[in-house]
Structure 1
Amino acid sequence: MSQITLDQHVSDIVTAIPQSADLFRSLRIDYCCGGKISLQEAAAQRNLDPSDVLTRVQEIEEKRETRAQMEPSSFGEKTLIAHIQEKYHTGLREELPLLAPYVTKVARVHGENHPHLLRVQEIFKILRTELIDHTDDEDQNIFPLILEFLANPTPELREQLKPHVTELEQEHDNAGRLLHELREITDNFTPPAEACGTYRLVYARLEQFEKDTFQHVHLENNVLFDRVREAI
């Protein structure tokens, strides 16, 4: 049931539902300096039907709530881990072997004129090896231990799990440093003007790989591991 009413101040609605700012902007309803008036009054000032504006705000609110329910951060531990495994671990195992030949080809063909590509190839090889080993360890050992601990947080399981979480976060930090270097040496994944299709493909897929990895690490470090730390 929506909590938004015609009596609420426009500014308060935007605070509660930031996406409503786009609607108010399009309707030329001031939600900033003149936002301390009710939605009823603001709509009337613009010769708009207040009920119609309210309905549109409520639709935005409903979409926002639906998205929130689908946010991985709201998942239970088992569902969250399954999501990480299906979306990110499986994705890594599929994408990295497919991308590898293109990275090798671009480094071989263009490395002489663009020496940084040799470092791109080197970083990619390191990340490919380390991330696959990392995800295998999580799937086979750490995630089952996390679920066991969260279901039954005994002192023995706590002491068994703590060093693993610390190690995983250190591995995440190392991957982050390598990805940061990758972005720097590729000028934010911007290919040169004369770059061929394969060159551009590699940069585009490396950028997507970076995005997916950061989302992956965020869910583990800031959601899953935080829950573990709270239980510890």
Structure 2
Amino acid sequence: MTEFNTVVKEHFPKLEIYTLPLTRAHGKNHPEVYRVHELFKTMNAKVKDNTVDKVDLDKEFTELRQVTNHYALPSDACETYEAVYSMLSESDRAYYN
């Protein structure tokens, strides 16, 4: 869980900034980014409110993998899109290690 805590500190502040603009830039062609944004907001709230080492994010990561087709990027993905999916994928891997 130490690795996950490190990833949270490194990636979650950026994800908090990037996921909303992603919906504005790509939501029309990729409506799944709205769900990605909502799932991340839920995860971020759980992490911020947590006082124990292990936060239960199984449901959110499971749905993220499903919604994003295991973080597969569309052909028109911009750098922000790539960064969001990369950070989410890394967070997912760290969570389960």
Task: For CA contacts below 8 A with separation 6 or more, give which structure has more relative contact order.
Answer: 2
Alpha-carbon distance between aligned partners in 1 of 2:10 and 2:83, rounded to the nearest angstrom: 16
Matches within 5 A, 1:73-222: 84=2, 87-134=3-50, 137-138=51-52, 172=56, 175-215=57-97
Specify every segment of 5 or more residues in structure 2 that has no aligned partner in the other structure, as ranges: none
Give CA deviations for 1:178-217 in whole Å, capped at 9, x if unaligned.
11110111011001112112111111111001111112xx
- Identity among equivalent pairs (%): 31
Alignment RMSD, CA only?
Answer: 1.9
Matched with 1:64 is none
Alpha-carbon distance between aligned partners in 2 of 1:125 and 1:177, rounded to the nearest angstrom: 13
Equivalent position amino acid for 2:15 in 1: L
Alpha-carbon distance between aligned partners in 2 of 1:90 and 1:132, rounded to the nearest angstrom: 14
> When you count helix as a share of all residues, which structure comes out higher?
1
**TM-score when normalising by structure 2:** 0.86
Alpha-carbon distance between aligned partners in 2 of 1:204 and 1:90, rounded to the nearest angstrom: 15
**TM-score when normalising by structure 1:** 0.39
SS in structure 1 at match of 2:9:
helix
After TM superposition, the runs of 4+ consecutive aligned structure 1 residues lying more than 6 A away are none
Count of aligned pairs between the two proteins: 97
Bigger radius of gyration, 1 or 2? 1
Specify every segment of 5 or more residues in structure 1 that has no aligned partner in the other structure, as ranges: 1-82, 140-167, 216-232
